[in-house]
Amino acid sequence: MGFLAGKRALIVGLASNRSIAWGIAQAMQREGAELALTYQNDKLQGRVEKMAGELGTSITLPLDVSSDEQIDNVFTELGRHWDGLDILVHSVAFAPREALEGSYVDSVTRENFAAAHDISSYSFAALAKAARPLMAGRNGALLTLTYLGAVRAMPSYNVMGLAKASLEANVRFLAYSLGPEGTRVNAISAGPIRTLAASGIGNFRKLLEYGEKNAPLRRNVSIDEVGNAAAFLCSDLASGITGEITYVDGGYNIVG
């Protein structure tokens, strides 16, 4: 029996079979969790339904996290299938492409700052609020995905670094708010992985090459490795861990 047997998990942020959310969904399913998946728009619906089939679930729901109405609908619909929710994974980020190249000071605008923070950080709190009635009192766990650019200045990541810093603060404040209800809140700070979202970041290839040369493990990490850590953090094995940022990056962040 897997260590997530009996748990029900909603996974937000599946875009392809390279998505970090796909690694997480597979690890959680392997450990015995029942899954529900969301898709951002009609274009992704068919692909996510196919992935749901591979994971043995038929619960797929539309969710663009910029819409309060869609956020409410997801939990109303989920409540028709399940009487409670144990795990919520937020694997979503967005910044306009032009914000992710060149220098930060040249590329940041009021508009791209607001969009990056809304989709990449606020949406985590919005989902936590909307999921609360289904999650309270079940020793539930929320998980989001962040990146080293939250705490270090680096080329190209630009306004997304600020949004991830906000997201990491969100993890701490949500952990503090929801702890009394028994809900834990954590983040994984993943090393660079080639996905659709990553392809929008200028010079991403250089980040991969640099990680391979300089991380203690001398390689980059896979979505399976992030998935395994996510399954652990959302399980009762991690019952004493909340408000933490756990690095799954081959140790890259410790190298000065």
Binding site for ligand 0WD (CB under 6 A): 13, 15-16, 18-21, 40, 63-66, 91-94, 119, 145-147, 190, 192-193, 195-198
Report, in Å, the least distance between residue 13 CB and ligand 0WD. 4
Report, in Å, the least distance between residue 232 CB and ligand 0WD. 17
Do residues 36 and 10 lie in contact, with contact meaning Cβ atoms separated by under 8 Å? yes
Which of 39, 147, 247, 252 is flagged as catalytic? 147
Of 229 and 240, the one with the shorter C-beta distance to ligand 0WD is: 229
Of 127 and 178, the one with the shorter C-beta distance to ligand 0WD is: 127
Of 140 and 211, the one with the shorter C-beta distance to ligand 0WD is: 211
Report, in Å, the least distance between residue 201 CB and ligand 0WD. 8
Is 157 part of the annotated catalytic residue set?
yes
Of 134 and 190, the one with the shorter C-beta distance to ligand 0WD is: 190
Is 247 part of the annotated catalytic residue set?
no
Report, in Å, the least distance between residue 140 CB and ligand 0WD. 20
